[in-house]
Every structure is written in C-alpha cells, then in structure tokens.
Chains A and B, each alone.
Chain A
C-alpha cells in the first residue's frame, strides 16, 4: 500500500493483508477490513456513479446505510450478480468485482449527462406535464424513453444458485444497533439473565466507537472497553450476537425482521453455508439503538465527487485509515465537523477553510480547532463549487451575501447536524414528536413494547448515551418480568458536540443556474421543491410524490429533513405542520432470496403423494396436480397420447375392469351419539333412517344454498359415519363442520377426525370387479344381495382390515377398497395381479372424468361454481324434504332460487359427433345475433366418449331442462357449433349396470 491517501497506521484495517479487487475492470488493491468505499477512497477514487435523472458524476457521500450515490453492482459469477449495493456497506474480499451503474459508455464519459443540459426542460413533475401531449408521441417516444431511463442497475439473468434459510427466534430483549447505547443496553439486559439478541448491520459491533480515538469509558480507551463488552456478551449463553444483520422491518406484536448476511463478505463462501438468513424474531421487549444520520447541507453544486459528510470522512480516517483528500474545505452547522477537522489535521490533511454557517461556534471542538490554528470563518457558506469529475474548489461568501472568495480544494466535508434514525420506531407505528430545541423528530408515544435509546432519540454525549442505553436495558428487562441488575454508572469522557444543525437550503440554492441537491439519489434540488410549492402543493406527502424526493431506495435518509426545511420556509409553515412522510420497511433493501428462504423448487409447497404413487410412476403414469396432491392422470402405453390412452382405459372399464387410486379423497370420521343428528343438520340428505352398513351420496351447501362439496357418506355404525369429500375440499369441509359444531351446536355429542391419510382407497370398477375381488376378501360376501349398490362392510382383504364400499363413480359395478395406508401398495398390487386374467387396466383421473360425465355425475368445482343449487345440478332427489332444517335450506326457499330460468344441468350433443367443444364455452340460442351475443349458459365438461363413439358435453343452460331437443349454438373462433340439448345422463339411463 503506497497510496498517499492511506495513513501509515491506525484504524481497524489490517495493512499486512492486501486484497485485490476491480472497479469497472480496473485492478485495484485494498486491505482486509476495508469496505469497497474505503478501498476506493484509499485509491483516490471518489467518482463511483452517475445520478439517476441528470447522470451527473457522483462520489461517495457517506460511510454507511444512508449512502445515496455509491450504488454498485457486485459480481461473483454470471448467476451471482447483485445490483444497487451501497459501496459503503460492501465488505472487501480478495477478487471482488464491482462496477458502477447508470452510465454509458463509461463512468467518465456518459451520454446520459445530456439530460443535465436539458434539465430546465425536465423539472419536478415533468412526467405529468410533458408527456401529456401530443398523445401520439406517448407510444412511440415518451414511453420507450421513460422505460429505458427507469430503474437502476441490472438484474441477474440466471437463477440464483445460492441458498437462503429462515430462523424463527424468541427473546426477552431484542436490541437493534450495537453502538454505545445498544452495547450498554445489552450488557444491562444480559446481566439480569434475560435472553438477549443484539444485532447490527455492520461487520463489527461498536457503531460510533469504531471511529473513536480519544474518548474513554470507565477509564479505558473506548475501543478497549468495546472489546471487553463484546467478550462479556459473547460469553453469555443467553445472548445471541448477530453482526452483519440489519433489523429491516418492525412488524405487529414485536415481530422484527432481521436480514443476516452470512457469506457476502467471504472470498470463497462455503457451499454448505446459506448466503443469507432471515430471522423472524418475536421479542418481549425491543430497544432501538439505531443511532443518528448526518445531514448534508444544501448549497449549489453540493453533489460533486469529493464532497462528503464530515463524520463519514472522520470514520474513513479513524476506522479505515483513509484520507478523503489532501486539502479540504469544511462547511458545517454542527460542532462535529470541527472534531473531524482536528482528526484530519492531525493526520496531515490540509484544512483550507472551515465555513460555519452559524454566527457563533464556541463549543470545545471549535475552540480546539481555533487553538490548532485552523482557518475558521463564521456566518459563511458555499455559493458554488468547481470541478468536473472531482471537486476542485469552492466559492465562499458571507451568509447574508456579498462577494465570494474562491478556495481550491480536492474534498469538501459538510455537516448539517444529525437526524435521529427513527425508521424502526416509525415502522412500529409509534408517534413521532417534534423537538424544537434539537430541530428533530424524536420517538414519542410507543405503539409496541419498545423504547429507543441514545442518538436514535436525540441524545449525543457519550456518557449520556451509555447511561441511556443502560436505563433502556433495565426498563426492558423489568418490562419482560425480570429483575434488572443494580444500576451501574459508566464513567465516560467524550467531547460535547452539542445539537446544532441546519434544516433546508442555504442561501444561493435558489439562484439562477444553481443546482443545490436535497435528494442525491433521485436528483431532486431545492428549486424542484420550491417549484412544487409555487404550483400549489402544501402537504409533504404530495410534494414527495410530485418531486419524488425521498422516494428512492434510500428512502430519503439524508434528504427528508432538508426537504421539510425547504418546504417549511417556502410556505412559512412550521415543520411539524408540514408533516412527515411515512417510514416504510425495509430499512435497507432485502433480497428476494432472503424472503423466500427455503420456499423454492421442490420445497416451495409440500408435494403430497399416495402410497400407490411410485407404482403408478413405474407404470409410466402422467400425473396432474390436484391441490397439493399428485394424481395419476392417465397411463399411456406404447407411445399413446392422452386421448388414445383415455379411450382405451374407458373401454376397458366399461367392458372388463379397471383399478383407480382414490386415496386423495378427503375422509372425515364423524363419531358420537349425536352423529346422525349432526349430519342431518349439515347435509341436505336425510340420515336418520340410513341403516348402518349403507351409504348415501351426500350434498353439502353453504348457508347461501349453493353447493359447497359432495361425497359418499357411509354409516359404519349407529354412532359412526365415514364421510368422504372431494380431494381439494377436505380441509374446508372439516373446517366448516368444526365451525358449526363449535359455534352453533356445541350441545351435540359428536366429534370429527380427519382420516384422509389413514386410508388408502382403491376403486375397482367394471362388470368384472366382483370376480377380481372375490378371491382376495375374507369374511365378506360381495354378492349383489349381501352388498348392494351404496352399501359397505368391514372385513379383511389380503389379510388386512378393510372398510369396503360398494359404490361407483363410473356407472359400472364398483367397489372402493379402503385399507390402512401402509398396506395400500401391497393390496393394490394384489388386486392388480388378480385383475390381470380379466384384462384389468389402471386408469387415471382423466378417464374417471369421462366415465362419470357419461353418467352425468357432477364434479364440484367443474359443474358447480359457487352459484349452483342442488336443483340446478339435478340433485333435488338428494334433499331430505321432510327435514326441519339443514344448512342452506332457508336460502333454497327464496323465490329467485327457484326461478324457472336458472341455469340447469343438461347434456349437449354436437350435431357433428366428432367435434369436442371447448370447456368453458358460452352457449347461445341464436348464432346470428349481434356481437356481443347474449349467452344463456356455458359448457362445464366436454369429452370424446369412446364408449358412445361420439363427443358429449355437460352444460349449465338457462331453463335447460325445458329445452330438451332444442338446437342451441356454441360460438367458437372457427364459427358456431350447433348442439342439441339432451339429458345429462348419456349412458345406461336406467342404471342397470351399477346395480349388477
């Protein structure tokens, strides 16, 4: 390291460990402990980016999360590229590749800077004005221009190969920020035995202490005390310390979102480590020690590279061993800049001038500066700056006008005072109070169980901050129900810098040709804000949106208070009356990966499979998603497409036998002495007279009378029903049942248990189903006399206990074999083997759909859409007419629910039997009417039926049952299709086969 900007010693960097990195392809060197920003400054590089709107050259403004300018892209490989990182927060590692953004063709020569020349024509709110007219120019000119100019940085084009994890955590006290206040709070809380989580966004704990060279705490140099404090906390097993972890969001009931960056600082991250971890911390008590942010000053030309915040410059010097320049001018409204000047002066930097906008500066720091002979000018401001890609000089003039004097320099440090960081407090919906003495918004009434300490509530003296942290720690511990330790006062010496500051724009900011920036990231000047007030804007919420001030990704960390100051002065309204915009999460940007955590790829959602799944997969089944389940859709053989496979499967079931995995059907066991009474009140059907051993097709309505779910319900015993639901409907049916049971009928002695996964269900369907099962069952008589259609019995199959239903969703003789799930695969294979002599096929959901449609059986969610009554669906027969009540009965009695023109379920035959209508098509009475035509119904199901040798469709048509034989039309993109209305039962209308 031979750079003239790197100091010989001091700071927390390791000069003996050089790190190579590149910036825009240029090979550079930093050292371990550097951030990208400090390494660039050590190389004399201030120019790091182009501004968003005017493409003005911009330099590093700050040393932390508030950085508005130095947004860079960091690349590890093609898939690992992260745009818009703040160079001030990027830790340097060997081999880091960074690039600037928003410049073309290069950072030094950027054609977008032409925007600067036309800036008089793109003032605040220009989007709303210029682009209004002419209308034609919008599509061809304005929109493409805006789209090209919008956004910052480029997104990586490949899938993110990194891993991200989540962690839920609880604690008594969460402390956000590990500066002096946070550490003091943590020590107090930890000593009481509390569970403590202490997090800080930086790589090291310490906050302002990391740049401290002279202050002492308990007689120790601040950095030695810091080391001991951290060691004490690290040795406490009830304390979790999280560096590189940003508290980015304050959610309801003290849930705090933390973003922990685990590997971004490593040259070679371990493949086993997640890149980031999202912590969702539920804290009994929270202490916000977020510190304060230094404010820039708003003077003409305040955005040139080389102009930075004074305390940031001090951080670069004391923590990173970097001088910001060789000859600096300081402009300030706060004593802190004098402390920075003294440190820089001691490090060999020439202080060309200290311009203080105040009339007096008599604090200890200014006095020390005076004694050191530094050139101080009171009541002085900067009226302009010079320089292209780097500041070369400033013009100084008296605050009340007069001639200006030019002073050469290569860096300008500014300080407008400090703004307490109230972001998290505001996110927690706490009320901010205006402190007129400190000219700051500070935390007022809390909405959550939290308190702020230290600079984040406007306290700045070191001893005061440490005491405040300890008090907050004790308060939090007591609020969490623990006993705080005896108060221990920490002796500390630190220079008193006062709370002076300046809000708004300095004189000259509104002068012709002046560009005095308020918001660096969104390129908003003082004049833009003044223009907005001239155009009638009064509320800061409106001015923010009109000018975009504070709306960049930095959320106005450096700009909001100055914007308020400008507006307040222009309107002659006090700042609290102008208002304050809302602080929103995240505090700094958070990656999508972190928020998604493990919810990606195969772990995005549970993939539910049945015990027969692997068998079906081995047979080449094609699966479809039904809710979270994978269901076999069809079993193609020898290159069949779906239509061919389904036709073959359908014919095999109708002529022989097929086997179908119905495991996913929802099952609920309803048990108790009042089980029948409960079922009677819930379902439309009559259950009291249903004998044990018999089953019934049940229909469940919502209280509005529309079909909610259906399924076969078997009465296993007097007090026990086996209820089946649709595959997707199981959870909502169980929830509805529980709801009624707990809120409407708590007097009933009946209980519900989900048994969906207790049973594997194997449907054996077809004329030869009985022969297949005969040889496998024990103690079960499968004859039509002993086990008629819609009955059930218990016994054994293949040595396994079974609940065997005689039922059919195909219209054929059928059985559904329920066996405990762990035996499902073995029993399936036994049935499969027994079925082979009968030509058994395995069939999937697609064939099931066709077979049931041939019989006119509805599918809830296909024939129903939440507006279909039992009568609409042709299910009036299922309703227990004599029942006093059931869910939905009152609604069904309403006149409109019985209107003759309601959509009713009918069958449709296309007049051309080979045409299969598209499902969802509309049905019209007259195909020659004007478009838009008046639909009288829609097609709900439509298939090619191999059994019937023609297409069939189910439809819901207005007054459909009165239209039998009528010709209707289905308009399609290729012209209308003529259809004939028919019964929805296309096959075996007498039901002979099902009763075989």
Chain B
C-alpha cells in the first residue's frame, strides 16, 4: 500500500526529480533605504513599478527592486550597469534623505528550479512556499538553516537566492545534501 502511495506522492517520501541549483550571472546590487518618497522616486528613475506591497519584487529585464522592509529595498541590475544605476538613483534622490550603498560583491545569486524547488528549499527554510502563500514575485529575507538569504520567487518553479558570499559554500552544500534523496 505505502509503496504505491509514495510512488504517487514523490513529495512525501522521496525527491525523485531533484530541483536544480545553479549560480546566476554576476549582477550589480544596492541597498536603498529611506522614506516612501525615496522608494517612489527610485522606482520611477529605474522605470519600474513602485513595490508598495510588503515582500514583493518588481522587475523588468535585469533590473529589479525587492522590498526588504518598509524603508529598505534591494536594487538589482545587470553586471555592467552599476555605475548607471548609481547615477540614475543619485540624480532622482538628490533632494531626499536616503542611503544608497553598493553591495554588488557582498552576495552571490543562485537559482533553484524544478518541480521540487519549493520542497528542496523547505528542507532548510521554514517558510510556507506553497504557490498560494508565496506567489511569483514574492521576496523576503529568510533563513536557510543557519544562513540568512533573500528568497525571491521568479516563476512558479523557480526561486532566486541572494546569499552572502562567505555563506555560499554552506548554502550550496546544504541544498546538495538535501537534494540527494
């Protein structure tokens, strides 16, 4: 009986088609902090919708603004456009008190993708990653076992992980170990 069950329910007992974990191309990154006006001006400057909803990302092409807190966003751009992003944001925010700090090299991005991506992440991340609770476009700071990460669902079966550089070996090792089942 149970063997039939688990064959039908790979989620329950085994990860027959493990999700794939792969590094993403280099990107430029900034932490932007300030008032709602700062966030509105920054989004406009980058031609992205202002993410007023908590834990939501707005993205177009390589550019994205991730809501990390009411007064904090992670801004992501293409590897080569760091200087351009700095220029655009500095110009748009010149009259508004804010903090813009480049963190391009602070973290590395990984992609976890596949039909069991959410389950693989749930081996170490305690959040509810059901599509109904963590829809596409949702992002948050969270933990993966003992590492802090930013988790962003970019497609139903695809997540982007932003990991502090020195924790990346641990994160990859953890996901490999959990996926080997």
Residue of B nearest to A609 (CB): B166
The answer to whether residues A753 and B5 also contact, given A272-B180, A603-B173 and a CB cut-off of 8 A, is no
Q: Measured between alpha carbons, how far is A669 from B127 in the docked complex, in Å? A: 30
Within 8 A of A (CB), among B111-134: 119, 122-128, 130, 133
Given contacts A242-B12, A673-B97, A753-B99, contact A273 B181 (CB under 8 A): yes
Give chain B residues whose Cβ lies under 8 Å from the Cβ of A203: 2
| Contact among A169, A272, A610 for B181, CB-based, below 8 A | A272
> In whole angstroms, what is the CA distance A580 to B123 when docked?
38
Q: How distant is the Cα of A823 from the Cα of B164 in the complex, in angstroms?
A: 16
Residues 890-908 of chain A, each 1 if its beta carbon lies under 8 Å from chain B, else 0? 0000000000000000000
* Distance between Cα atoms of A599 and B123 in the complex (Å): 12
A168 within 8 Å of B (CB atoms): yes
Check if A758 sits within 8 Å of B181, measured CB to CB.
Answer: no
Question: Quick check: A240 and B12 within 8 Å, CB to CB?
Answer: yes
CB < 8 Å: which of B122, B124, B146, B166 contacts A169?
B122
Instruction: Please determine whether B5 and A598 come into contact, CB atoms closer than 8 angstroms.
Output: no
A493 to B13, CA, bound (A): 35
Q: Which residue of A lies closest to B166 (CB)?
A: A608
A518 to chain B, nearest CB (A): 36
Q: Considering the complex, which residues of chain A in the window 620-637 have a beta carbon less than 8 Å from any beta carbon of chain B?
A: 628-629
Residue A241 at the chain B interface, CB threshold 8 Å: yes
Contact B106 A758 (CB under 8 A): yes
Are A608 and B97 neighbours in the complex by a CB distance under 8 Å? no
Asked if A598 and B174 sit within 8 Å, CB to CB, the answer is: yes
CA distance A272 to B176 in the complex (A): 12
Question: Inside 8 A of B119's CB, which chain A residues have their CB?
Answer: 167
A170: CB under 8 A from chain B? Answer: yes
Q: How many A-B residue pairs have CB under 8 A?
A: 142
Asked whether, in the complex, the Cβ of A606 is within 8 Å of the Cβ of B178, the reply is no
A607 contacts B170, C-beta separation under 8 Å: yes
B147 closest partner in A (C-beta): A606
| Interchain CB contact under 8 A, A241 and B164 | no
Residue of A nearest to B35 (CB): A749
- Cβ of A796 under 8 Å from chain B: no
State whether B1 touches A671 (Cβ < 8 A): no
B2 contacts A757, C-beta separation under 8 Å: no
- Contacts A170-B133, A751-B71 hold; do A671 and B99 have CB atoms under 8 A apart? yes
B130 touches A168 (CB 8 A): no
User: Could you tell me the distance between the alpha carbons of A611 and B166 in the complex, rounded to whole angstroms?
Assistant: 9
**How distant is the Cα of A282 from the Cα of B122 in the complex, in angstroms?**
12
User: Smallest CB–CB gap between B36 and chain A, Å?
Assistant: 14
Distance, CA A610 to CA B147, complexed state (A):
16
Chain A's closest residue to B100 (CB) is A671
**With the chains together, A753 CA to B106 CA distance in Å?**
11
Distance, CA A163 to CA B122, complexed state (A): 17
Across-interface contacts of A195 in B (CB, < 8 A) = 130
Contacting pair A749 B97 (CB below 8 A): yes
Q: Answer yes or no: A820 CB below 8 A from chain B CBs.
A: yes
Contact among A606, A757, A759 for B107, CB-based, below 8 A: A757
Q: Is A774 positioned at the interface, with any CB of B under 8 Å from its CB?
A: no
Cβ contact of A608, chosen from B5, B33, B101, B167, cutoff 8 A = B167
- When chains A and B are docked, how far (Å) is the Cα of A603 from the Cα of B171? 9
**Residue contact B146 to A757, C-beta cutoff 8 Å:** no
Residue of A nearest to B119 (CB): A167
The answer to whether the Cβ of A428 comes within 8 Å of any Cβ in the partner chain is no
Q: A170-B130, A234-B9, A598-B178 are in contact. Are A610 and B166 (CB under 8 A)?
A: yes
- Contact partner, B103, options A163, A603, A673, A753, Cβ 8 Å: A753
Question: Which chain A residues in 594-623 approach chain B with CB under 8 Å?
Answer: 598-599, 602-603, 605-611
Q: Smallest distance from the beta carbon of B87 to chain A beta carbons, Å?
A: 15
B166–A757 contact, CB under 8 A?
A: yes
Report the Cα distance A719→B68, complex, angstroms.
Answer: 23
Q: Which of A167, A204, A610, A611 contacts B122 (CB 8 A)?
A: A167
Closest Cβ of chain A to B35, distance in Å, is 9
A766 within 8 A of B: no
Q: Which residues of A contact B124 (CB under 8 A)?
A: 166, 168, 598
Residues of A within 8 A of B164 (CB): 757
Q: Given A168-B125, A169-B122, A204-B1, verify A603-B166 contact (CB < 8 Å).
A: no
Distance in angstroms between the alpha carbons of A870 and B41 in the assembled complex:
44
Q: How far is the CA of A463 from the CA of B126 in the complex (A)?
A: 39
Decide if B123 touches A167 in the complex (CB within 8 Å): yes
**Nearest A residue to B72, CB-CB:** A751
CB < 8 Å neighbour of A260 from B5, B13, B105: B13
Q: Is the CB of A758 within 8 A of B33?
A: no
Residue of A nearest to B34 (CB): A751
B175 shortest CB reach to chain A, Å: 10
Nearest Cβ distance between residue A22 and chain B, in whole angstroms?
A: 25
Bound Cα distance from A514 to B16, whole angstroms: 58
Chain A residues near B146 (CB-CB < 8 A):
599, 605-606
Residues on A with beta carbons closer than 8 Å to the beta carbon of B5: 230, 234, 241, 243
Secondary structure call for the B interface = mixed
Query: What's the Cα separation between A731 and B133 when bound, in Å?
Result: 30
Cβ–Cβ contact A672 & B98, under 8 A: yes
Would you call B71 and A280 a contact (CB within 8 A)?
Answer: no
A contact residues around B177 at 8 Å (CB): 163, 165, 598, 603
State A671–B93 Cα separation when bound (angstroms).
14
Q: Is B104 interfacial (CB-CB < 8 Å)? A: yes
A606 to B104, Cβ gap below 8 A?
no
In whole angstroms, how far apart are the Cα atoms of A260 and B124 in the complex?
Answer: 17
Q: Chain A 728-769 against B: per-residue CB contact (8 Å), 1 yes, 0 no?
A: 000000000000000000000111111111110000000000
CB <8 Å contact, A205 and B1? yes
B128 to chain A, nearest CB (A): 4
Does any Cβ of B come within 8 Å of A995's Cβ?
no
A845→B8 CA distance, assembly (Å): 56
Taking a contact as CB atoms closer than 8 A, the residue among A235, A751, A822 that contacts B33 in the complex is: A751
Interface positions of B from 126 to 181, Cβ below 8 Å from A: 126-128, 130, 133, 145-147, 164-167, 169-170, 173-174, 177-178, 180-181
Known: A273-B181, A598-B177, A753-B99. Is A606-B126 also a contact (CB below 8 A)?
no
Complex contact A598–B180 (CB within 8 A): no
- Complexed CA–CA distance, A285 and B103 (Å): 42
Query: Per a CB cutoff under 8 Å, which of A240, A603, A611, A750 touches B9?
Result: A240
Chain B residue at minimum C-beta to C-beta distance from A605: B146
Alpha-carbon distance A606/B163, docked complex (angstroms): 12
A272-B16 Cα distance, complex, nearest whole Å: 10
Shortest Cβ distance from residue B71 to the other chain A in the assembled complex, whole angstroms: 7
Interface centre among A262, A749, A758 (most CB of B within 10 A): A758
Residue interface bits B1-28, CB-to-A below 8 A is 1, else 0: 1101100110111100000000000100
Q: Within residues 237 to 295 of chain A, which ones have a CB less than 8 A from any CB in chain B?
A: 240-244, 260, 262, 272-274, 280, 282
Chain B residues positioned under 8 Å from A166 (CB to CB): 123-124, 178
B31 at the A/B interface (Cβ < 8 Å)? Answer: yes
Q: Is B81 an interface residue (CB 8 A)?
A: no
CA distance A629 to B98 in the complex (A): 32
Are A280 and B126 in contact, with the CB atoms below 8 A?
A: yes
Tell me which residues across on chain A come within 8 A of B106, comparing CB atoms. 754-758, 821
Nearest A residue to B176 via CB reads A603
Give the Cβ gap from A722 to chain B, nearest Cβ, in Å.
Answer: 10
CA distance A598 to B1 in the complex (A): 29
Contacts of B169 in A (CB 8 A): 606-607, 609
Q: Check B105 against A821 for contact (C-beta < 8 Å).
A: yes
A671 to B30, CA, bound (A): 13
For the complex, give the distance between the alpha carbons of A603 and B177 in Å.
9
- Are A669 and B12 also in contact (CB < 8 A) when A230-B1, A603-B174, A609-B166 are? no
- Write 12 A-B pairs (CB below 8 A) sorted by A numbering: A170-B130, A195-B130, A205-B1, A230-B1, A243-B5, A272-B180, A603-B177, A611-B165, A629-B166, A758-B102, A820-B104, A820-B105
List the interface of chain A (C-beta within 8 A of B): 163, 165-170, 195, 203-205, 227, 230, 234-235, 240-244, 260, 262, 272-274, 280, 282, 598-599, 602-603, 605-611, 628-629, 669, 671-673, 749-759, 820-823
Q: A241-B9, A598-B178, A669-B101 are in contact. List 11 more A-B contacts (CB 8 A).
A: A166-B178, A168-B126, A204-B1, A603-B174, A751-B33, A753-B101, A755-B101, A757-B166, A758-B101, A758-B103, A758-B105
